[in-house]
Chain A
Amino acid sequence: MDLSLWIPIIMLVLTFLLNIPVTYGMLAAGVYYLLYTGGDIGLIVGQTMGTLYTGYVLMAVPLFIFTANVMNSGKVTDAMFTFSKALIGRRRGALAYVNVIVSLIFSGMTGSAIADAAGIGKMEIDAMVKDGYDAPFSCAITAASATIGPIFPPSIPFVIYAMLSGTSVGALFLGGMVPGILLAVVLSIYVWYISRKRDYPKGESFTFIEFIKFSLKAFPALLTPVILLVGIYTGVMTPTEAGAVAALYALIVALFAYRVLGFKALLVTLKDTVIGAGQITILTGAAAVFTYIVAKENIPAMISQYILGITDNKYLLLLVINTLFLILGMFLDTAVLQFVFLPMVIPIVRMLGIDMVHFGVLICLNMMIGLSTPPFGFLLFITAGISNTPFVKITKEILPMIVVLLALLMVITFVPDIVLFIPNRMMG
């Protein structure tokens, strides 16, 4: 085997072993590869910056991050939390249901699981523990429900997948709607079961007038996902433009309706936005360099040949990819999966005629499950950190929820219409 093929592989292994930032590792792989093959190293700039220059769809990333940061301020999340409490009322395990519902609402604004868990998560866990729920269960349901974030539109992982695979972002957003709602439904069923079993406390009762009052208070925030989704689904706006409109709307709501954003807070929000955008999006550019090497060395073709030698049944292949990504997702960051491994399997998926929207939604769901799966699910670390709860105890609580999420993943894998029903009807 030629050494040029080994250079990206060796660099990848070194990146993992030596705690090298993935962006740096990919760029360095490009340098050493081009140095060895005698190519122009300047090409790396062309690949990295060219991807950003032509990646119109990627512009949605900083806009979604900004919307999430604005909407994560105290009063907005308070309003959503109280509204959800009033909606659930006196059911047993009310706050656990509220946790799931708030995540669903929040997912319509942020598109990020980490923003959900780290933002509103602390408030949810504190309220649940105060109400008599076990801290590990509270953390586990917060982590599990945060996985809805990038599945229900908008979604930053969908935007990146669209960029990597050339799939329509609008179709992916549409495709994520039903699975996002189903995630909330299956988690609610689990909450119903466990609340009865453990006799979790009932919620508060609210009068109709109180319900209307809290609904009105939450209304401006609740309108954000509506504006975004209606804008995209009616075709009035592209998803990127919808991101800008949602960001503008979030800004107006935070400034005037909730009055939570002073100059200093706005500056902090902007600072966090640009750092978040820089961190995620530069990785997309660096991944383009890595993808270039991988394509030049024909690695996807080799993998396809190998896998197709085993099976050409697309459902079996989806099962294999799902298992592989689930295992990798237990140890690796979502960004690594998306930028390193996904470009290698996309050509095979396309070759077998698997619908790219279906695959995009299911692989994002898969990666989000990985975020909550022990031993290294990042969402578990976040919830453990913000609540000072022992990690091991959360691990035990999350396992049944992971089983529920995996069951849904399998259903979505083998019934593509769950994903494709809406995009096929609305986009033809």
Chain B
Amino acid sequence: MSKKLASAIHIMETAIGIYVPVTAFLFMFIAFCLQIFSRYFLNHQFEWTYEYTVIGFIWTVAFGACAASKRREHVSFSLIYDRFGQQGQAIIKLVGNTIIIIAFCIMIYPAFDFIRFMGIKTTPVLKIPISYVYAPFLAFLTFSILYLIKDCLIAIQTLLSLKQNNPGGLQ
């Protein structure tokens, strides 16, 4: 059961973190090429290509950021963190992640509400509700929270194993 769950999570992570942004990027790229080709070779400006490129771009970035969250590849300042040992790093991770998890959890509902509210606006040409354009932000937020929680659990596990190995107290 747990194997099935792990495989389902892996498939979902790959789909959201890799296939969706790759598709969005290709979508944006092709729309761009069409836009340039039609303007310079057919002397005609498609109105819809710009909106496709923008939507493709936003989806690429937001879902790509989910994948960056998974790989822990977001830019961070590790100068002080690297100076600490395993125990210190685990404590720092725990404190830092908790601050962010609280902030992101507070943000979820207002973000959802704002995105839903933006549904009253549409893009000028394709009339796509802006809520669809902005929606990947919620995926980014959710993914980030889940990975932050996972890191917290790893940090707790590290602290517990250190305590077990050194029953006299943590160094």
Point out residues on A near B: beta carbons under 8 Å: 14-25, 27-28, 31-32, 35, 40-46, 48-49, 52-53, 56, 58-59, 62-63, 66, 236-237, 240-241, 244-245, 247-248, 267, 270-271, 273-279, 281-283, 285, 331-333, 335-336, 376
Task: Tell me whether B111 and A41 are in contact (CB under 8 A).
Answer: yes
Task: Tell me whether B103 and A277 are in contact (CB under 8 A).
Answer: no
21 contacts between A and B (CB under 8 A): A15-B76, A16-B80, A20-B97, A23-B65, A24-B100, A27-B107, A31-B107, A44-B107, A45-B111, A45-B114, A53-B54, A53-B134, A62-B64, A236-B40, A240-B32, A244-B32, A248-B29, A267-B22, A274-B60, A283-B74, A376-B79
Task: Tell me whether A41 and B60 are in contact (CB under 8 A).
Answer: no
* Most chain A CB neighbours (cut-off 10 Å) among B21, B35, B63: B21
Task: Tell me whether B76 and A22 are in contact (CB under 8 A).
Answer: yes
Task: Tell me whether B80 and A17 are in contact (CB under 8 A).
Answer: yes
Q: How large is the interface on B (under 10, 10 to 19, 20 to 34, 35 or more residues)?
A: 35 or more
Known contacts A62-B28, A277-B25; is A49 also within 8 Å of B134 by CB? yes
List which B58-79 residues lie within 8 A (CB) of chain A: 58, 60-68, 71, 73-79
Instruction: Report B-chain residues with C-beta under 8 Å of the C-beta of A40.
Output: 110, 114
Task: Tell me whether B60 and A23 are in contact (CB under 8 A).
Answer: no
Instruction: Report B-chain residues with C-beta under 8 Å of the C-beta of A277.
Output: 21, 25, 60-61, 64
Instruction: Report A-chain residues with C-beta under 8 Å of the C-beta of B75.
Output: 21-23, 279, 283, 333, 335-336
Instruction: Report B-chain residues with C-beta under 8 Å of the C-beta of A279.
Output: 64-65, 68, 73-75
The CA-CA distance from A322 to B93 in the complex, in Å, is 33
Nearest 5 pairs of A and B residues by beta carbon = A278-B64, A42-B114, A18-B96, A21-B74, A28-B103
Known contacts A63-B29, A244-B29; is A278 also within 8 Å of B60 by CB? yes
Task: Tell me whether B117 and A42 are in contact (CB under 8 A).
Answer: yes
User: B66 is contacted by which of A19, A244, A278 (Cβ under 8 Å)?
Assistant: A278
Instruction: Report A-chain residues with C-beta under 8 Å of the C-beta of B64.
Output: 62, 274-279, 281-282
Task: Tell me whether A275 and B36 are in contact (CB under 8 A).
Answer: no
Task: Tell me whether B63 and A20 are in contact (CB under 8 A).
Answer: no
Which residue of B has the minimal Cβ distance to A49? B134
Task: Tell me whether B25 and A270 are in contact (CB under 8 A).
Answer: yes
List which B72-112 residues lie within 8 A (CB) of chain A: 73-81, 92-93, 95-97, 99-100, 103-104, 106-107, 110-111
CB A268 to nearest CB in B, in angstroms, measures: 10
User: A274 is contacted by which of B18, B74, B107, B140 (Cβ under 8 Å)?
Assistant: B18
User: A278 is contacted by which of B65, B93, B103 (Cβ under 8 Å)?
Assistant: B65
Task: Tell me whether A274 and B25 are in contact (CB under 8 A).
Answer: yes
The CA-CA distance from A271 to B114 in the complex, in Å, is 30
CB B140 to nearest CB in A, in angstroms, measures: 7
Which residue of A has the minimal Cβ distance to B32? A244
Instruction: Report A-chain residues with C-beta under 8 Å of the C-beta of B22.
Output: 267, 270-271, 274
Instruction: Report A-chain residues with C-beta under 8 Å of the C-beta of B96.
Output: 14, 18-20
Task: Tell me whether B73 and A275 are in contact (CB under 8 A).
Answer: yes
* Most chain B CB neighbours (cut-off 10 Å) among A17, A19, A31, A56: A19
At the interface, yes or no: B152 with Cβ under 8 Å from chain A?
A: no
Q: Mark B114-136, 1 if CB is under 8 A from A, else 0.
A: 11010000000000001001100
Which residue of B has the minimal Cβ distance to A17? B80
The CA-CA distance from A278 to B97 in the complex, in Å, is 20
The CA-CA distance from A81 to B35 in the complex, in Å, is 35
At the interface, yes or no: B113 with Cβ under 8 Å from chain A?
A: yes
Known: A17-B92, A23-B74, A277-B61. 5 other contacts (CB 8 A): A24-B148, A28-B100, A56-B54, A283-B74, A285-B61
Instruction: Report A-chain residues with C-beta under 8 Å of the C-beta of B140.
Output: 282
